[in-house]
Amino acid sequence: MDLLQINMVSEIGIVAIGTILGVIFKRFLFSKIKILSDKSSWKGDDVVINAVNSIIVFWFFLASLSIAIGDADLPEPVGLYLPKIILSFLVISISLTSSRIVLGLLDVWAESNTSLPSTGIFKGLVNFTIFALGFLFVLQTFGVSITPLITALGVGGLAVSLALKDTLSDLFGGINILLSQTMKEGDFVELDNGFQGYVKNIGWRYTTIRERANNIISIPNSVLSGSVSKNFTSKDAAFRVPIKIGVSYESDLDHVEKITLEVANELYESLDCMNKNYKPTIRFREFADSSINFFIYFQGKEFGDHNTILNAFIKALHKRYKKENIDIPFPIRTLIHKNEIKN
C-alpha cells in the first residue's frame, strides 16, 4: 500500500470517527441534556435543544471532514474549493438551525406575550433576514465582493418598490395590523363591508378570514388596515346575549320576573358555554302595543355561543310559561271602519 492510499484511509477514518463521535454525543450526552430540558417549565429550552438535536451529527461530520482535509495534499482546484464548500454547508446548516430556534422562540413568546403575535408575516421576515445574511456570508467565502451587490440591490430596490407599490402597501398594512393589535389570529371580527368571521392568518399580502359557514375570505392588508372593523374577542371574548320577551298586560310582573330568572339560572348552571362570572339579569323596558316588553341578558364565553343560549332558553321558557299560565300575547290591532263611525 503506497503513501497516497495510506493517507486516504487515514482521512476516511478521521471522518468516520468524527461522525461516530457525533452519534455517541447525540445519543448519550445530548440526550441527557434533552431530558433535563423536558423537565423545565420554560418551553424555550426545548425549542433550542430540538433544533440543535436534528443537526448535531452533521456538524460533527463537517468538523471531522475539515480536519481530514486539513493535512491532505489535495490537487487544485479541489484543495482550494473544498474547504469553502464545507464552510458553506456549515453556514447553511447554522442558518437553518437559527431560523428554527428564532421561530420557535417567537411561538413561545406569543403564547405569553401578545405585543408581537407570531404570525406568517413575521415568520417570513425572520426567515428572509436569516437566510439573506447566510447567503451573503457564503458569497464572501467564495471571494465574491458583496459591496457592489448591496449597492445594486439598493438601486434596484428603488425600481422594484415603485413597480411593487401595491404589494409593499399590503406588506406594511399587515405589519401595521399586527403592531396596532386591532386583530390577531383567532379573533372574531366584523368589517364595515359586512364580512365577519375568524381571522386565520395575517400574511404578506392578504389576511384570510373564515366565515361561520366555513367560507374563506382573502382581504388585502392595505384595504383591511384602512377599514372600520369590530373585534368581538380582542380584549374579552365574553359576548353579551340580550333576549327580548313580551308578556300580556294582565300578567303579574313580579311572578314573571321570578319564573324567568328561575329558567335562566337553570341554564346558567347547565350550559358550559355560559360565562360563569356573569349572572342572568332582567330589565323591563317598555309598554308596547300588545305586551309589556323586557330583556333578559346572558353572557357567553365567546362569539357564537349566543346561538346555543337562544335555542335552549326559548324552548325552556316557552314550556315553563305554559305551565305557569303566563301569556305571551299575539300582536293585537283594533281596526275602526268608517261606516261604523257613521252608524
Q: How confident is the model at residue 114 (pLDDT cuts 50, 70, 90)?
A: low
State the pLDDT at residue 257.
92
DSSP tag of 330: P
- Mean pLDDT for the stretch of residues 264-274: 86
State the pLDDT at residue 260.
92
Q: Which residue has the higher pLDDT, 295 or 139?
A: 295
Task: Note the pLDDT tens digit of each residue in 300-339.
Answer: 877 777 788 888 889 999 999 998 888 888 776 666 666 6
CATH 1.25.60.10 fits 239-324, yes or no: no
Q: Indicate the residue type of 196.
A: Q
Asked if residues 280 and 269 have their Cβ atoms less than 8 Å apart, the reply is no
Q: Which of 125, 160, 139 is nearest to 91 (CA)?
A: 139
Q: Which residue has the higher pLDDT, 175 or 308?
A: 308
Rounded to whole angstroms, the Cα distance separating 43 from 80 reads: 43
C-alpha distances out from residue 80 to 72, 73, 85, 141, Å = 12, 11, 9, 12
Mean pLDDT of the chain: 77
- Mean pLDDT for the stretch of residues 44-67: 79
Q: How confident is the model at residue 49 (pLDDT cuts 50, 70, 90)?
A: confident
- Nearest-Å Rg of the Cα atoms of the chain is 34
- Which CATH code fits 170-231? 2.30.30.60
State the pLDDT at residue 278.
83
Crossing angle for the helix pair 44-53 and 78-112, nearest 10 degrees? Answer: 160
Output phi, psi for 246, to 5 deg: -125, 135
* Residue 167: Cβ-neighbour burial (10 angstroms; 0-12, 13-18, 19+): middle
State the pLDDT at residue 1.
45
Which grid cell sits at 35?
A: 431530558
State the pLDDT at residue 22.
78
Domain ranges of the chain: 3-160, 170-231, 239-324
Q: What's the predicted TM-score (pTM) here?
A: 0.48
Q: How confident is the model at residue 149 (pLDDT cuts 50, 70, 90)?
A: low
Q: Which residue has the higher pLDDT, 266 or 78?
A: 266
Q: Which residue has the higher pLDDT, 293 or 6?
A: 293
